[in-house]
Amino acid sequence: MSTPTTKVAYFCMEYGLDDKLKTYAGGLGILAGDYMKGAKDHNFPIVGIGLKWKQGYTDQYIDSEGKPYDSYKNQNYDFLEDTGVTVSVKIRQRDVKIKVWKCEAFGNAPLYLLDTDLPENEDAWITGQLYGWFGEERIAQEMVLGIGGVRALRALNIDVDLYHFNEGHALFAGFELIREKRDNGHDYGKAFAESREEIVFTTHTPVIQGNESHPIDRLMYMGANLGQTVEQLVDMGGAPFNMTVGALRLSKKSNAVAQLHGETAQEMWNHVEGRSEIVPITNAIHKPTWVDSAMTDAAEGKGDIWESHIKNKRALVEFVKERTGAELNENVLTLGFSRRAVAYKRANLLFRDPEVIDPLLRDGKLQIVYSGKAHPLDDGGKQLIAEIVGFSKKYPNAVVYVPNYDMATGSALTRGSDVWLNNPRRPKEASGTSGMKAAINGVLNCSTLDGWWPEACNHGVNGWQFGDGFVGKTEAEHDKHDGDALYKVLLDEVIPTYYDNREKWVEMMKQSILDCKDQFAVKRMLEEYYELLYV
Ligand SMILES: *Cc1c(COP(=O)(O)O)cnc(C)c1O
């Protein structure tokens, strides 16, 4: 494509930049970090806006009873440059000063981080913990990101053609665009319509509870409305005010994050009158961050695939030993499973039938490495982790739980596992970029047909699917169907191929890499943003 000129300001609550910096919680932040890195590598005229989280997201470890607990620590931001710019936003009738820092690491695509941790602020805590709170605190954070973000761009004299909200958290930036136009004399209708022309939106989770909403009176009390009336807010986001619904109405175009998610999102938001069109643009990854180039080279004939993979597998064995003390066996088929601990992802599906799984784990046919945090306030998710920790005690060195899932863990696991297991209850998984990391590292995906996988899966050729896209009427029915299908594919295909047909296995690894390395690289995603969303 020709060099794009549309200048985009990208807003996101979290950015996965580096494994030492807890400015991300999960997939949303990893996507945003990879997007910025891609913008730098491929010279797209983009600036990022985020928050400078003092503590960021939780470190999560396991206590002596096998239960997860949370721990926060201050982050190190020595690498940031002080822009000298400060803006302010009135939150709950109080002026909050916001300092603007610049992250130079992205060269032509700088990332600006906003910070309220200043001595003059009574509300210094706003940029304290990422997703640490709901309610008023969350609204305050989103006001800093959205309203503070637009004011920072103005103060920095950065011209912007389009505002891209990655998730609904940034919606108040749209409120600020409306306010600016009204202050310039436009009536509300015209200000709304013109702001809409400058905004695009990415919607993520198809899980209804993941789409944040706030009582209207709370938005008014916080001062987030910026002069809009209760009726105007209700017309935009409903009551309670749903941030996703608001963003769908206050954007000229939206995107879903995989082809299947496009269909799911259309259906899910069909009832929203006046919403923007939702086009599917499948997520992708920044290969230099996640992929061992020896693997892509080997798939193209420059090197030995299996040898390079075994190096990565040994590195994983080392990593697991360092973090947990457990000793994996490099000759045993190794499944990797790491993702947020939440019910629909079914971390425990593999253990459904002890009669099937017990001998596989005891006889050294299979070993599995788990990782993943639960949201600090999600007791159900923490219970799931405790269950997996229980299995790791029952099957020492065959089932391992690595605490405190982070980018380093994600990287080690998506390079060094043999198989990437993914079994969400379709169609709840929006995309699932960890499977892309695995695929391009020659780690074979074994997954239900959810998120990105239906776009890449060539069963028995570059990985495996199980469940055939089944959607159960009840969760119990769904789990029984997929659980049986998982055992079948493991016993009939995955395990025999691994132990009895290494040649085919290596051929599948190669196919996985070749099929995915361009299709799921961030360059393709950025080009599609410019061709389908930023127009
Ligand atoms: C890649 C990655 C994610 C996102 O992957 P999903 O497949 O969406 O779970 C989340 N967290 C970390 C640490 C990652 O490396």
pLDDT in tens, 417-463: 999 999 999 999 999 999 999 999 999 999 999 999 999 999 999 99
| Ligand 1 centroid – CA 174 distance (Å) | 28
Residue 475, CA atoms < 13 Å, CB-side half-sphere: 8
- Fold exhibited by the domain 287-519: Rossmann fold (3.40.50)
Strand partners, 214: 241
State pLDDT tens for residues 63-80. 999 999 999 999 999 999
Mean local confidence (pLDDT), 48-67: 97
Mutate to test the pocket of ligand 1, among 12, 30, 289, 441 (most ligand atoms within 8 A of CB): 30
Mean local confidence (pLDDT), 396-414: 97
- Count of positions (residues) in the chain: 535
In this prediction, residue 30 carries a pLDDT of 98
The angle at the Cα of 46, spanning 167 to 431, to the nearest 5 degrees, equals: 35
Cα 248 vs. chain centroid, distance in angstroms? 20
| Ligand 1 centroid – CA 410 distance (Å) | 7
| Ligand 1 centroid – CA 336 distance (Å) | 12
Q: What confidence tier does 482 reach under pLDDT thresholds 50, 70, 90?
A: very high
**Is 26's C-beta closer than 6 angstroms to any atom of ligand 1?**
yes
Taking 80 as the threshold, does the pLDDT of residue 270 lie above it? yes
Mutate to test the pocket of ligand 1, among 14, 207, 338 (most ligand atoms within 8 A of CB): 338
Closest residue by Cα to atom 15, ligand 1, is 410
Mean local confidence (pLDDT), 499-511: 98
**Is 23's C-beta closer than 6 angstroms to any atom of ligand 1?**
no
**Is 412's C-beta closer than 6 angstroms to any atom of ligand 1?**
no
**Is 60's C-beta closer than 6 angstroms to any atom of ligand 1?**
no
Residue 439 and residue 452: Cα distance in Å, rounded? 11
**Is 128's C-beta closer than 6 angstroms to any atom of ligand 1?**
no
Taking 90 as the threshold, does the pLDDT of residue 1 lie above it? no
Question: Any alpha helices (H) in 119-164, and if so which ranges?
Answer: 135-143, 149-155
pTM over 0.85: yes
Of all atoms in ligand 1, which is nearest to the CA of residue 434? 7
Mean pLDDT of the chain: 97
In this prediction, residue 2 carries a pLDDT of 72
Q: What confidence tier does 206 reach under pLDDT thresholds 50, 70, 90?
A: confident
Question: Which one-letter DSSP state was computed for residue 459?
Answer: B
Q: Going by CATH, does the domain composed of 8-284+524-533 fall within 3.30.420.10?
A: no
Taking 90 as the threshold, does the pLDDT of residue 224 lie above it? yes
State pLDDT tens for residues 318-377. 999 999 999 999 999 999 999 999 999 999 999 999 999 999 999 999 999 999 999 999
Token duo for residue 331: 């000759």
In this prediction, residue 134 carries a pLDDT of 85
Mean local confidence (pLDDT), 261-278: 97
Residue 320 and residue 252: Cα distance in Å, rounded? 46
**Is 406's C-beta closer than 6 angstroms to any atom of ligand 1?**
yes
Task: Name, in order, each residue with C-beta under 8 angstroms of 78's C-beta and a sequence gap of 6 or more.
Answer: none
**Is 405's C-beta closer than 6 angstroms to any atom of ligand 1?**
yes
**Closest residue by Cα to residue 416 from 319, 496, 288, 520:** 319
Domain limits, the chain: 8-284+524-533, 287-519
Are 146 and 167 contacting, i.e. CB atoms less than 8 angstroms apart?
Answer: no
In this prediction, residue 19 carries a pLDDT of 87
449-454 CB contacts, 8 Å cutoff, 24+ apart: 449/260, 450/260, 450/422, 450/424, 450/425, 450/426, 451/258, 451/260, 451/261, 451/422, 451/424, 452/258, 452/282, 452/283, 452/520, 453/422, 454/259, 454/260
Token duo for residue 281: 């643009």
Taking 80 as the threshold, does the pLDDT of residue 200 lie above it? yes
Mean local confidence (pLDDT), 34-49: 97
**Is 27's C-beta closer than 6 angstroms to any atom of ligand 1?**
yes
Closest residue by Cα to atom 14, ligand 1, is 410
Token duo for residue 241: 């005010």
In this prediction, residue 145 carries a pLDDT of 98
In this prediction, residue 263 carries a pLDDT of 97
Omega of the bond leading into 240 within 30 degrees of 0 (cis): yes
In this prediction, residue 123 carries a pLDDT of 94
Mutate to test the pocket of ligand 1, among 31, 166, 434, 443 (most ligand atoms within 8 A of CB): 434
State pLDDT tens for residues 81-123. 999 999 999 999 999 999 999 998 888 999 999 999 999 999 9
Closest residue by Cα to atom 4, ligand 1, is 27
Taking 90 as the threshold, does the pLDDT of residue 3 lie above it? no
Closest residue by Cα to atom 1, ligand 1, is 434
State pLDDT tens for residues 139-158. 999 999 999 999 999 999 99
The answer to whether 8-284+524-533 and 287-519 have equal CATH topology is: yes
Token duo for residue 317: 């064995």
